Amino acid sequence: MDDAGQSLTQRAVPAKSLRTPTTVSPQMQRSIATMAAAASAGGGMPADWSPSTAPEWKAVIAQMDAQALAIKPVLEAMFPHTSELRQIAGVTVREITPATFDPAKSGLLLVHFHGGGYTMNGGEASTGEAVLAAHYSGLKAISVDYRMPPEHPFPAAVDDALAVWRALAAERPATSMGVIGTSAGGGLSLALALKLKEVGEALPGALATGTPWTDLTGASDSYQVNADVDGIFSNFGAFGRAMAALYAGPAGVEHPLVSPIFGDFGGFPPTIFTTGTRDILLSDTVRAYRAMRAAGVTAQLEVHEAMSHAEYIYAFDSPESAVAFTDIAAFFHAHLKG
């Protein structure tokens, strides 16, 4: 391709420094500044490095899980709840009952799938989002500790999601249950609905997909535009691509149950999407939202100022987090039917 042709496919932009915005709350400003300081100090995964062996993957996973577990005591103090370890259809789950539980809404239930690139945030690190969703909605949540790579690539996560869903749907109307997940958990929520359509079974009453990982090929625009802008999922470099390939396995990243953007959203339940202007998966979220609208699905898109990927979960002391989860709770209460 000559220089003229090259200019049509890519455009160089000047380097720049990003300031902490004053257009968000002090709590969110602190979160953004803290992540910026960590990035400047060399935190996170290098863009050009990825694990190549199972022991290397397990070491990275343990490191990232430890970060999630470190903030768990603060989360528990701010959002009191009980957590009961259970098995449903042979899958490990944790049943979250918030102190805000409303017995009048006991006929409704949330089913939660955690994020973490389909590789991280398992076990005790898996419930942060479920705790917040349960608190703001006043509903119980079943947080599914689905199997993950390196031992269990796709379709293990989808199989576990389907098994838990079927067991719960045998006990209560599907319309009484909402499915919620962020990042990989958002992608898995969409994959579960696609699978239920495929096998002809009842879909959830509503979905809440936060910044869902819908295109594991990395083609979406914000993978470029928000690279090294997002303070949490900083870039889709070697590590991100390796994580996608590890999860997809032989099925490949274009399989619609791996990358739901390649699926058919027709007939989906009402869905709320949550993202932010600094989110590397902003485009993954927008593309799925637009595809649902084109398919005639009731869909709501909430975009938050200056938020990085899933920051409404990590900055849980911020007004922005409260707004995000209050919107999600209102959406569930408007669409779930006990």
Query: 54-335 — its CATH code?
Result: 3.40.50.1820
Average pLDDT, the chain: 94
Residue 4 has pLDDT above 70, yes or no: no
CA distances (Å), 335 to each of 89, 113, 226, in order? 27, 19, 33
pLDDT tens digits, residue range 207-231?
A: 999 999 999 999 999 999 999 999 9
Q: In this predicted structure, what is the pLDDT of residue 274?
A: 98
Confidence of residue 261 (pLDDT cuts 50, 70, 90): very high
Per-residue pLDDT at 284: 98
Residue 103, pLDDT score = 95
pLDDT band at 44 (very low <50, low <70, confident <90, very high): low
Residue partners of 51: CB distance under 8 A and separation at least 6? 57, 59, 60, 239, 242
pTM here is 0.95
The model's pLDDT over 152-203, given as tens digits with 9 standing for 90+, comes to: 999 999 999 999 999 999 999 999 999 999 999 999 999 999 999 999 999 9
So what's the pLDDT on residue 11? 87
Indicate the domain borders of the chain: 54-335
> 61 pLDDT exceeds 80?
yes
- In the predicted model, is pLDDT for residue 240 greater than 60? yes
Kind and range of the H or E run holding 130: helix 128-137
Residue 46 has pLDDT above 70, yes or no: no
Amino acid identity for residue 53 in this structure: T
Q: What is the pLDDT of residue 120?
A: 94
User: How much of the chain is helix, strand and coil, in % rounded to 5?
Assistant: 45, 15, 40
Q: What is the pLDDT of residues 87-143, one digit of tens each?
A: 999 999 999 999 999 999 999 999 999 999 999 999 999 999 999 999 999 999 999
In this prediction, residues 235-256 reach a mean pLDDT of: 96
Report the candidate in 137, 60, 143 with the shortest Cα–Cα distance to residue 105: 137
Q: For residue 78, what is the enclosing H or E element?
A: helix 72-78
Closest C-alpha among 232, 231, 237 to residue 115: 232
CB 160 within 8 A of CB 128: no
* pLDDT above 80: residue 73: yes
Answer for the pair 194, 269: CB distance below 8 angstroms, yes or no. no
Mean pLDDT throughout 298-318?
Answer: 97
What is the rounded average pLDDT of the residues 266-295?
A: 98
